[in-house]
Amino acid sequence: MTDAIQPHALPSALDAHPGARILSLDCFDTLLWRDSHAPVDIFARLPGMTAQQRVWAEERARQVAGFGRNAQDVTIAEIYALLMPDAAPAAREAAIAAEIAAEARHCYAFAPAVRLMQRARAQGMQVIVVSDTYFDPAQLRDLIARAAGGEVAGLIDRIYCSSTYGKPKALGLYGEVLRELAARPEDILHIGDNHRADVEGVAAFGVRTLHLDQFSDFASQRFRHEASISALFHQRPEKDATAQLPHRAALALAEPLTADPAEAFGLTVLGPALYGYQRWLEAEAEALRAARGGTVHWLFLMRDGYLPMKVHEAAGAESQSRGHAIEISRFTSTAASFRDDADPLRYLELELGIRPETLARQLLLSDADIARLMRGKSPSDASLALLADMRKEPRRRAVVAASRAFGQRLVQHVRAAVDPAPGDTLMLVDLGYNGSVQNCVDDLLREELGVHVAGRYLVLREKDLRGHDKRGFIAGDHYDAFAVEAICANVALIEQLCTTDMGSVIDYRQDGSPIRKASDIKGSQSETRTRIQAGCLRFAQAQREAVIRADAADALSCWRKAAVAVLGRIMYLPFAPELAVVERFHHDVNLGTERVVALFDPRVAEAGLRQRGLFYLNGTDRMYLPAELQGHGLAPKLTLLANRRFGLPFAFADFTDDAISLPVIYAADEQVSQRVIEARATHDGYYLAAVPIGDCRFSVALQFGAEFEYVQVDSVNAMPVDSFLGDVVRDNAAQVPLGTVVEAMQQLSVDLYRCTDESGFLMIHPPERVDDTPMMAAVVFRPIAAWPRKAAAARPLGVAA
């Protein structure tokens, strides 16, 4: 009977097979694993050819072998003979060597399989490798040694390759192995990941087999989605298009042992991204030390820098520097940044539109002054009053004086935590994304402490060029602007997973100790986040326990691609079990206010899709829109991703190719007229009838009864024509719900109507007129059933009723 074994159990595989004398292992995805998602991904790294050319050559070689010599497998020499038919033998040999070198760079040994081999050798067993591959035994042994090291290759007594015998395991290779070994089948235990090859093809000869069950169906689907995200983000240059997922082995080892969904979330999503970020930070710190001398102090900016700091601490002996938690928020950094008379006014003019109370507090006005300026005023009038007040020279001087004192308290906070020497470097570590805190405090820290300030961010996309020392793990030096912006679009999720439950800092005491506002995040969210972060911290240990490799060349590039793949995947293609973990999360705005908002609300997206179709995705301003699209299939999420990733210039008319003609009656004063409008398909069978109503002077009646017996009316709103016809959708577009009256329409439920005859209509009265802004009534409806005679007339000939 064949059993399955999970990756973490490999070292103990011999316990249930005490009579085995020979351990037989498959090679690829059992002993040797690849950084890439699929074997063919390595072909994208080969010089002088495309991945598809390499695939075509192998397909043709197998066809020739099958018809020409009745062989079911080929050698790599036969592949390259068809790939490079006119090349000299030396050129083909060089190309083959380049492929083996590429494999060696991207392969590594799976550590549990190596521990199993070591145990087998300790028990006096032979260890053999039986592989379906176009490499020959010498080439495969060389590849194992180069990828995993000579010690691992030295554990193997014999290697058998399908290319040597012209047949794979599924078609009888193991019969040849048994003959050459002169061994009894029952003396052998064979383990491999391919059920057809390593179980069905081997067990047929009486050999004991174990199926290495690498991944659950969910994990396999997640990796497919990550590879798809990677393909969309790594298309330029072509040789950089490999879907590299170096975290597969660590997750194969640790994920089956992780029962808590929140911990699994942290392990599979945050773990690979922050592990790669930490390795990059180590390289950046070393580069700063080499270039500038002195000590490089790691300053993790709280609160979002909390989890990167814990990952750094978990690196332990691997890390050369101790990290420091520094509490500098957007609020405190801005409050410390007003250095001359022009700064307060410039800040206020740039930020008008934020709540005026928030702006006033940011400018360090007293509670009494804020109350005086805001009392009895609308938000717009209060903003104007604040602007007028800030144009007074005494007010600006007071703000600058308060800001300079605030800055001294902030500097004391840094000095108390780090106490850097002149010439040292303060490496600010944060998720990103514009480096706003660094923009505000860089000059202050440099001048007061005599240090160099270097910002090192998970993601960096600067809105303006300040000339500060900033770099990002994911940034414009590796990705185009649209790609970086796409990664930043749903970053509120990552912020909430990386933060801590302490309140945001709003000031400092004279000794530099922080003064925090109370945290407004619920305890249940903090408890879930703690479990997620625990899973993230487990990843680095799993990575160390899973991988043995001889050469870590280009590792940072590989982990950068992995970070983009996992972050892009959770941001755009999340799965329902993951969203269940964070469904009750809220996001705090962190501007010195107590405002929190839900991370996502599926009801918002459902209404938007029904009203505007996929065009709703075109610029709608939501924190985690893909989560709100859950349940609507893959198409809306991929549309959103493509639109953001490539900056596609689509307009409303590009998103629909179906329309219904619907008669409409216009009534104003005593005049009545009839027109025909086109209702455009939106989503899930719904249509949008956009009916112009001028400057709110017209009543309109949609004659649903002319076409349908049953109709579902989802919503009726008035909105400005300009808002409706714009190239992007904004959630704050002025919408006014409209009341309706029906005639010859029977209401069957909240939104379902039956037209009693063909005269049935829905009457809409305009909203109260405010000005001469052109308006339209947006009616979202879903046809349920046409009149029987109309349905019969529309039925194609020969189709039975």
Local confidence band at 317 (pLDDT 50, 70, 90 cut-offs): low
CA-nearest of 496, 75, 600 to 269 is 496
**Residues 6+ away with beta carbon under 8 Å from 128:** 22, 23, 24, 25, 156, 157, 158, 159, 160, 177, 181
Q: Is the dihedral of CA 642, 646, 647, 651 positive or negative?
A: negative
Token pair 């090859």 in the structure block, residue: 197
pLDDT at 249: 96
CATH 3.40.50.1000 fits domain 3-214:
yes
DSSP string, 288-353: HHHHH-S-EEEEEETTTTHHHHHHHHHTGGG-SS-EEEE---HHHHHHT---STTHHHHHHHHHBT
Q: Is the pLDDT of residue 491 over 90?
A: no
The count of residues in the chain is 801
pLDDT tens digits for range 584-629: 888 765 544 455 677 888 777 777 777 777 766 665 667 788 888 8
Q: Is the pLDDT of residue 492 over 90?
A: no
Q: Is the pLDDT of residue 512 over 90?
A: yes
Residue 624 burial (CB count, 10 A):
24
- As a CATH number, domain 655-794 is 2.60.40
Looking at residues 313-321, what average pLDDT do you find?
71
pLDDT at 616: 66
pLDDT at 23: 98
Where along the chain do the CATH 3.40.50.1000 domains lie?
A: 3-214
Q: Which residues of 644-671 are buried (b: 16+ CB within 10 A; e: fewer)?
A: bbeeeeeebeebbeeeeebbbbbeeeee
pLDDT at 620: 66
Q: Is the pLDDT of residue 513 over 50?
A: yes
SS3 for 435?
coil
Tell me which DSSP letter residue 28 carries.
Answer: B
**Residues 6+ away with beta carbon under 8 Å from 676:** 661, 662, 663, 664
Local confidence band at 188 (pLDDT 50, 70, 90 cut-offs): very high
Local confidence band at 798 (pLDDT 50, 70, 90 cut-offs): very low
CA-nearest of 712, 263, 335, 758 to 506 is 335
Residue 678 burial (CB count, 10 A):
13
Dihedral (Cα; 363, 367, 370, 375), 10-degree rounding: 170
Dihedral (Cα; 707, 708, 713, 716), 10-degree rounding: 20
pLDDT tens digits for range 193-240: 999 999 999 999 999 999 999 999 999 999 999 999 999 998 654 455
Residue 279 burial (CB count, 10 A):
20
Half-sphere exposure of 342 (CA within 13 A, CB side): 0
SS3 for 264?
helix
Average pLDDT value for the chain: 89
Tell me which DSSP letter residue 549 carries.
Answer: -
Q: Which of 57-61, 183-187, 586-590 has the lowest mean pLDDT?
A: 586-590
pLDDT tens digits for range 344-374: 989 988 888 788 899 999 999 999 999 998 9
pLDDT tens digits for range 437-446: 999 999 999 9
Q: How far is CA 572 from its chain centroid?
A: 6
Q: Which of 12-26, 240-254, 328-342 has the lowest mean pLDDT?
A: 240-254
Q: Is the pLDDT of residue 5 over 50?
A: yes
pLDDT at 90: 97
Q: Which of 71-80, 82-91, 643-652 has the lowest mean pLDDT?
A: 643-652
Looking at residues 57-64, what average pLDDT do you find?
94
pLDDT at 609: 78
What percentage of the chain reaches a pLDDT higher than 70?
Answer: 92
Token pair 């770099």 in the structure block, residue: 471
Q: Which backbone phi and psi does 239 adopt, to 5 degrees? A: -70, -10
Structural contact between residues 323 and 309, judged by C-beta atoms closer than 8 angstroms: yes
pTM: 0.88
pLDDT at 552: 67
Alpha helices, DSSP H, located in 155-235: 162-165, 173-181, 201-203, 217-233
pLDDT at 800: 42
Q: Which of 116-125, 597-606, 608-617, 774-783 has the lowest mean pLDDT?
A: 608-617
The token pair at 142 is 């060389």
Q: Which of 14-23, 361-370, 535-544, 609-618 has the lowest mean pLDDT?
A: 609-618
CA–CA separation, 173 vs 168, rounded Å?
5
Q: Which of 259-263, 493-497, 637-641, 651-655 has the lowest mean pLDDT?
A: 651-655
Instruction: Please report how the helices 393-417 and 343-351 are oriented relative to each other, as an axis angle in degrees rounded to 10.
Output: 90
pLDDT tens digits for range 162-176: 999 999 999 999 999
Looking at residues 686-715, what average pLDDT do you find?
91
Tell me which DSSP letter residue 588 carries.
Answer: E
Q: Which of 177-191, 348-362, 400-414 has the lowest mean pLDDT?
A: 348-362
DSSP string, 642-683: HHHHHT----GGGG---EEEEEEEEEETTEEEEEEEEEEE-S
Structural contact between residues 150 and 58, judged by C-beta atoms closer than 8 angstroms: no
Structural contact between residues 758 and 745, judged by C-beta atoms closer than 8 angstroms: no
CA-nearest of 290, 294, 284 to 319 is 284
The token pair at 112 is 């549990």
Query: What radius of gyration do the chain's Cα atoms show?
Result: 33
Local confidence band at 631 (pLDDT 50, 70, 90 cut-offs): confident
